[in-house]
Amino acid sequence: MPPIIFVRHGETDWNRQGLIQGTIDTDLNETGRAQAQAVALALLSRREELRAYDFIVSPQRRAQDTMAAINAWQERPAELIRTEPLVRELGFGIWEAKPFWELKASPIYPADAEERYYWRPEGGESYEDGVARIKILLDRLENPTLIVAHGAIGRCLMGVIGNKSPAEIVNLKTPQGCYCQLQDGAIAWFDANKLTA
């Protein structure tokens, strides 16, 4: 498995308000744009190394704009950045645009972490579905890769590479304004603001 750098998109107003985004396209807010810039600057010190990396991004706008900020400093031709539907965010079906607290308070939402891994909301996807997508992607990777995507699909990515259990996958942290090095089964997060302070 080649090394992977994973970046979750910067903050959106929906993130701030605790709303479920899923497949809905949302824009970075001011904080999110600052987070994207901080990650871009943190990765600048690795520009020579990243020349050997493929760049992959979710088709959703919040990820696209985060990747654009990173690439502005990497100076890679835009046509070399691959938009990849396999790393789009998990679909949350009928729960999209609703607050997370409402989902968590619903009796249909499993209290057990392992059950949440297999739970598929009406019209949406489960974490198991996301892991299946990620396995297809990883089977196709030939080179070191930088991936800009989302929180839930990022958990699936880290879970597969880190060989995590279903219960562990749904509880993995995916902070914004950071990047994650995934290599040899290890998961290491780096806070961009601390790296550029």
Cα dist from 122 to 9, 72, 88, whole Å: 25, 39, 18
Q: In the numeric block, which tokens belong to residue 183?
A: 């290599």
Set 11, 89, 96, 125: catalytic member: 89
Set 9, 11, 125, 150: catalytic member: 9
Q: In the numeric block, which tokens belong to residue 172?
A: 């993995």
Beta-sheet pairing, 186-191 with 178-183: antiparallel
Round to whole Å and give the CA distance between 149 and 70. Answer: 13
Give yes or no for a contact between 115 and 127, defined as CB atoms under 8 angstroms apart.
Answer: no
- Catalytic site includes residue 89: yes
- Catalytic site includes residue 102: no
Give the active site residues: 9, 89
